[in-house]
Amino acid sequence: MTRSKLVLGACAMAMTLAGGVGWAVQANADAATQKSEPAATRAIEGYEIIKLPNANVPNFRRQVVFCPAGKRVVGGGAEAQGDNSVLNGSFPTDDGRGWIGIGHQPGADSVGISVYAVCANV
């Protein structure tokens, strides 16, 4: 490789690296100047978590928890409890008013299932 190509390659690499550093500095500068609102102004109206406590149910039986009247589910989750228990599903009801949890426990007839619905006025 000739000296001029080597110098040209080194210059190109230096410019690329310097450009990347400039972008990182700019991104950090923008992030530092963003204003954040107090948490109270960002709250979801009517936010509430409803829990269906752990219950031992036959394997693969759906456990469902519903939001209070007038509220819709905006999230949720479920937990399978027991030795080697498996959570097979955690998803909203078709009508958007609740959350479903399904699980099983290999080698047993039942499994402990807890279900949580995150509800809000939407």
pLDDT per 10-residue tile (average), the chain, 122 residues: 44 44 45 52 87 97 98 98 97 98 98 98 92
Whether residue 55 is found in the same domain as residue 7? no
The position carrying tokens 């210059």 is 11
Q: How far apart (Å, rounded) are the C-alpha atoms in residues 114 and 2?
A: 70
Residues 59 and 75 placed together within one structural domain of the fold: yes
pTM of structure: 0.65
| DSSP of 71-87 | -EEEEEEEEEESTT-EE
Residue 25: which domain range?
1-34
**Is residue 47 located within the same domain as residue 30?**
no
pLDDT (0 to 100) of residue 43: 83
Residue in the structure block whose two tokens are 């498996």:
86
Indicate the length of the chain as a whole number: 122
Question: Do 63 and 109 fall within a single domain?
Answer: yes
The amino acid occupying position 69 is: A
Do residue 102 and residue 67 come from a single domain?
A: yes
